[in-house]
């Protein structure tokens, strides 16, 4: 029997955010015909991850793919707890990021928003990778790795700012970029869906802000890749 894929996201009260995540899950179902794909959440929405994992038939295998961009409390505690209590074989994959497909998507969004990058005069433009943030130091490590991937795609430096948790705040990162002479600062939204953190990013003072990543096919492709890697 093919293992169940449990797509576990944070959960949001934003109806637009819920639709974006549901769109990713729907696309994953299309990309994995024959695989049972269930949604689960760690906060705000139901069903909770513990309930979904516990509901897998005894003896049946399952793979939890976090619809989260970085390692953090929810992967290390909430998801890990559910996996440990599973009635059958169950594993959790790494978070979706860092991943080159997501870096490519961010680069596409930035260019579509007008980033000239290599065609601009040096220092005229700046990019801040704007992430939600976490109190877990591992999350910051993941985001910094993502910034390196995005730097490679753009051929220009990318700084990092966080909406919450440890690390430099997005607004501070934006002002630091302006202090170096940048006339246009782009905030690359490194969040999956509309919601609280997307709002914080939008209001952090950047000249141009890209949209959250979901429900782009690149996000679904990373989910599928994580699932298939777990089967191997």
Mention every residue, 6+ apart, whose C-beta is less than 8 A from residue 47.
39, 40, 41, 55
Q: Are 68 and 96 in contact (CB under 8 A)?
A: yes
Average pLDDT of 27-44? Answer: 97
pTM: 0.94
Torsion of CA 16, 18, 22, 25, to 10 degrees: 120
Given this model, what pLDDT does residue 138 score?
86
pLDDT in tens, 116-139: 865 555 579 999 999 998 888 888
Looking from the CA of 56 toward its CB, the CA atoms found within 13 Å total 30
In this structure, are residues 208 and 183 in contact, taking their beta carbons and an 8 Å threshold? Answer: no
Q: Among positive and negative, which fits the CA dihedral 23, 21, 40, 74?
A: positive
Indicate the length of the chain as a whole number: 232
What average pLDDT does the segment 77-92 reach? 95
Q: Which of 14, 21, 188 is nearest to 96 (CA)?
A: 21
Percent of the chain topping pLDDT 70: 97
Share of the chain residues as helix, strand and coil, in percent rounded to the nearest 5: 45, 20, 40
SS3 at position 27: helix
Residues of the chain with pLDDT > 90: what percent?
87
Q: What are phi and psi of 25, to 5 degrees?
A: -60, -40
Contact 47, 9 (CB under 8 A): no
At residue 141, the pLDDT reads 94
Output the average pLDDT for the chain. Answer: 95
């Amino acid at each position: 029997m093919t293992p169940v894929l449990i797509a576990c996201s944070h959960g949001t009260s934003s109806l637009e955010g819920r639709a974006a995540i549901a769109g990713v899950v729907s696309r994953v179902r299309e990309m994995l015909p024959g695989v049972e794909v269930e949604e689960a959440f760690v906060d705000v929405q139901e069903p909770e991850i513990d309930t979904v994992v516990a509901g897998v038939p005894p003896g049946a295998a399952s793979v939890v793919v976090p619809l989260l961009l970085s390692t953090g409390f929810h992967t290390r505690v909430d998801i890990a707890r559910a996996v440990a209590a599973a009635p059958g074989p169950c594993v959790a994959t790494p978070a979706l990021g860092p991943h080159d497909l997501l870096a490519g998507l961010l680069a596409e969004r930035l260019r579509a928003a007008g980033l000239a990058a290599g065609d601009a005069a040096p220092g005229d433009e700046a990019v801040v990778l704007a992430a939600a943030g976490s109190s877990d130091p591992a999350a910051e490590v993941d985001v910094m790795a993502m910034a390196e991937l995005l730097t490679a795609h753009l051929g220009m430096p990318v700084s990092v700012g966080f909406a919450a948790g440890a690390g430099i705040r997005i607004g501070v990162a934006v002002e630091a970029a302006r202090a170096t002479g940048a006339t246009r600062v782009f905030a690359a939204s490194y969040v999956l869906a509309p919601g609280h953190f997307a709002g914080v990013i939008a209001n952090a003072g950047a000249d141009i802000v890209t949209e959250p990543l979901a429900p782009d096919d690149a996000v679904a492709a990373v989910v599928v890749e994580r699932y298939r890697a777990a089967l191997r």
